[in-house]
Structure 1
Amino acid sequence: MIKYIEKGDIFRIEGVGNYAHGCNCAGAMGKGIALQFRERYPAMYLEYKQLCKEHKFCPGDVFDYDYGHGHIYNLGTQATWRTRAKIEYIEKALKQMLELAEHDNVTAIALPAIGAGLGGLRWDDVKAVLDKVSNDYPKIDLYVVETYQSE
């Protein structure tokens, strides 16, 4: 099931400790929500940066980071920070993320409007992919914050 939240902060959704976000595959987390992830989880960022440097994190991939209290799913939605996200990267990464989550018995994931901010895609197009892909994983609830707002 997907619950769309018009405004909010993915890190403040009660009862949710697993997160996902779209990121590039060039090792840069310098803007948007990626910067928040970098600041909150510096060890994850260093691992992500190394994977990118070694070309082991590519568009459509998922870097699943277990931070001890849940998972962070880094979705490879853009080749570099200079390029736009691609809907096919998002679809592939979402499927992989949900497979990983199902395997680890994750039941709730919070994420922003991936690909629609700095990624440059139309939110309605991304939303359609989210709806389609999530239908195959009814045991996993996705909490999608459409617009960031600090409380």
Structure 2
Amino acid sequence: MDFKEIKKDLFTLPEDYYLAHCISSDAKMSAGIAVEFRKRFKLKSLQDIANQKPLEIGKCYRVGRAFNLVTKSKYWHKPTYETITQALISVKNNCLEEEITKLAMPQIGCGLDKLQWGKVREIIKEVFSDTQVDIVVCTL
């Protein structure tokens, strides 16, 4: 695994990068970077899934090249380090199954969700340490 943090707009990375972000199991995606993900990746299908049954906390749902990490039940709730770890393990397993080697994300769980980036960074590094997935974290 190669891990780096850069100052760049996440959405300007090359098309071979899969992009990850956090959502709630109600799939509202009505605030923060999730709004941009919903627009750019037409994530209405996740809301359709959520209307049929709740998305599972600790899992990721891939739509195109967007990984949607479910880290809390309602959009106003906050994730925990445990739920973000579980969701990252789900992303890792998906990457391994699909032979995905390039993953980019913002500082997940740290904007509106208020987790500490230093802790989340270490979780990401630990989860992906035994993979060939290159991870880029973008900040503006």
- Where does residue 133 of structure 2 map in the other structure? 140
Provide the TM-score with structure 1 as the length reference: 0.85
**Over aligned residues, Cα RMSD in angstroms?**
1.5
Flag structure 2 segments of 5+ consecutive residues without an equivalent: none
Tell me the number of residue pairs that the alignment of Structure 1 and Structure 2 aligns.
Answer: 140
Q: Distance in 1 between matches of 2:48 and 2:114?
A: 26
Superposed displacement of residue 122, structure 1: 0.9
Q: Could you list the per-position Cα deviations for residues 92-151 of structure 1 after superposition, in whole angstroms to 9, with x for gaps in the alignment?
A: 1111111111111111011111111111111111111111101021x1111112x2x2xx
- How many percent identity over aligned positions? 26
- Where does residue 129 of structure 1 map in the other structure? 123
- Where does residue 20 of structure 2 map in the other structure? 20
Q: Distance in 2 between matches of 1:28 and 1:89?
A: 18
Following superposition of structure 1 onto structure 2, how do residues 88-127 of structure 1 map, counting pairs within 5 Å? 88-127=82-121
Q: Distance in 2 between matches of 1:21 and 1:132?
A: 18
- Where does residue 35 of structure 1 map in the other structure? 35
Q: SS of 2:95's equivalent?
A: helix
Work out whether 1:76 is the aligned partner of 2:70: yes
Q: Distance in 2 between matches of 1:9 and 1:31?
A: 17
Q: Distance in 2 between matches of 1:88 and 1:108?
A: 24
Provide the TM-score with structure 2 as the length reference: 0.91
Contact 1:2 1:134 in 2 (8 A): no
Q: SS of 1:117's equivalent?
A: coil
Note closer, same or farther for the CA distance 1:51–1:15 as it changes in structure 2 (3 Å cut): closer
Flag structure 1 segments of 5+ consecutive residues without an equivalent: none
Superposed displacement of residue 64, structure 1: 1.4
Work out whether 1:57 is the aligned partner of 2:50: no
